[in-house]
Amino acid sequence: MTTVKEPGAVATSRSSRLMWAILGVVLLADALDVIDATVTNIAAPTIAAELGGGESLIKWLGPAYMLAMGVLLVVGGRLGDKFGQRKLFLLGVAGFTLASAVAGFAPDPALLIVARVAQGAFGALLIPQGMAIMTKNFDREMLGKAFGLFGPVLGISSVAGPVLAGFIISADIFGLTWRPIFLLNLVLGIIGLIVAAKVLPRDDDGDRSTVVDGWGSGLLAVTMLGLLYGLIEGSTNGWGAIAIVSIVVGVLFFVAFAYRQRTAADPLIMPSLLKNRGFTSGMLVGLVAFAAGTGLIFVLSLFLQEGLHASARTTSLGLVPLTLGLIAAGFAAMGGLVAKLGRRLVFIGLTVAVVGCGWVLALVAAYGTDVSLWALAPALLVIGVGIGFSFATIPTVALGDAKPEEAGSASGSLSSIQQLASAIGSAVVTSIFFQAAAGSGMAHAMTVTLIVVLAVTALSIPIVALMPRKAPAGPPPPPE
């Protein structure tokens, strides 16, 4: 006997498959972002050795991507509202794929850095649209499933980036060494673009009345570029006039950016948020935690390769304990600990990170560059747990005192701050490492870097007491 399906059941099944397809495309986009943000942690020394550019190129590879992402992330969300999320998503995927091709075939350091900036810029157009598309089209049950999958997928991606880079470089596919880490995006990007064009729901052309604060974004971009260029130039080539002028320009443009946020009709950051003690303290703690954590992870990779002379593949495997600790702590935090402990979990995370840094410091002080990866593994695991608790908890708890009408803006601002802090941390902590290494060796450089990271992190711990006690109930709001 043949069973005939009801038309409603067929439609529901088809709709369910479509929702899962949309979720798959959004997760692919976010995974590509995380992978490309982390691959250069392992690949940077190899790229610099082949292309030239030395320390300066190593310092710029990560920050160039994160700088563009952080500056334009909020703008990307507003542009999606203005012109339509589907259109911006497709533009973002296409641009990201093209920029990856340029990075993969770059013949010199300058073009590679330009390509990394373009990757970050198109990523900033792409990432906010996925959350907005899901919020508009998913019911509460499906949205809950989507949020439940984001953590595991992004966690796996954060491991996959460095490990993939290490194995690709060691495999030396077709003699291309590091280039396939970017060229792989061509395959994934084209597949993602084709699937996205088919499954993403067609929206209207957006709300053309949405205001995008281009002036604010421009001022912020010059601020960050001036500060980062000055820090990298000064630490690499000496603190001459160019480095000092660059930093001064960055500071002046920051003052202009702050004034713009107070006077603009539609600023990037709502002025009421800056008067919220819980949010501003969370923003400050997040700035320190993300800068110190991201910079430390990068420097640990450099220490393993330059100090211990580990290969790219061995380095990627040596950092797996840190990454697993980060993922496990992140899952535990979002699985219920952040709701139960609130800001106490931020305190725990920062404290555990300090303990882990102290442990590595003791090992380096005792054994120098003779320390083994096996001896470092448990200490790196502890660092990962501390960073994982901090990274997962700070942005959530900082929203605890935000009003409902402020939540979207606050979430978008914290996402941008996370990227900008990571860019600053990568540049500053790496600069400290190379400055200390000049003439004194890698063990001394690692010691100095760890002491600075320990001190800065410890100084931020008392500020946690000013953060909201509890995280807001329910899933985080989509960034605006």
**Torsion angle, alpha carbons of 158, 465, 478, 410, to 10:** -120
Q: Is 336 left (phi over 0), alpha (psi -120 to 50) or beta?
A: left
pLDDT at 52: 86
Helix (H) or strand (E) holding 207: none
| 26 to 154, 204, 220, 378: CA distances (angstroms) | 11, 19, 28, 35
CA distance 297 to 294: 5
Q: What is the CB neighbour count within 10 angstroms for residue 153? A: 18
Helix (H) or strand (E) holding 44: helix 7-51
Q: What is the CB neighbour count within 10 angstroms for residue 136? A: 11
SS3 275: coil
Q: What is the pTM of this model?
A: 0.84
Token pair 């480095």 in the structure block, residue: 243
Give the torsion sign (CA, 260, 423, 161, 44): positive
pLDDT at 479: 53
CA distance 15 to 238: 61
Judge contact between 161 and 185, C-beta under 8 A.
Answer: no
Judge contact between 161 and 38, C-beta under 8 A.
Answer: yes
CA nearest to 81, candidates 431, 480, 364: 480
pLDDT at 464: 92
Judge contact between 185 and 236, C-beta under 8 A.
Answer: no
pLDDT at 54: 85
CA distance 299 to 44: 11
pLDDT, tens digit, for every residue of 307-336? Answer: 999 998 899 899 989 988 988 888 888 778
pLDDT at 396: 83
Judge contact between 165 and 316, C-beta under 8 A.
Answer: yes
CA distance 196 to 200: 5
**Which tokens in the block code for residue 121?**
């810029």
Helix (H) or strand (E) holding 175: none
CA distance 274 to 259: 12
Residues in the chain: 480
DSSP state of 342: T
Q: pLDDT averaged over consecutive 10-residue blocks of the chain (480 residues)?
A: 42 67 87 84 89 87 88 82 87 94 94 94 87 79 71 70 84 89 91 90 69 82 88 79 90 90 79 82 90 90 91 90 88 82 92 96 94 95 92 84 71 80 86 86 93 94 90 59
Q: What is the CB neighbour count within 10 angstroms for residue 265? A: 6
Residue 423's Cβ-count burial label (10 Å; 0-12, 13-18, 19+) is buried
Token pair 């209207």 in the structure block, residue: 204
DSSP state of 84: -
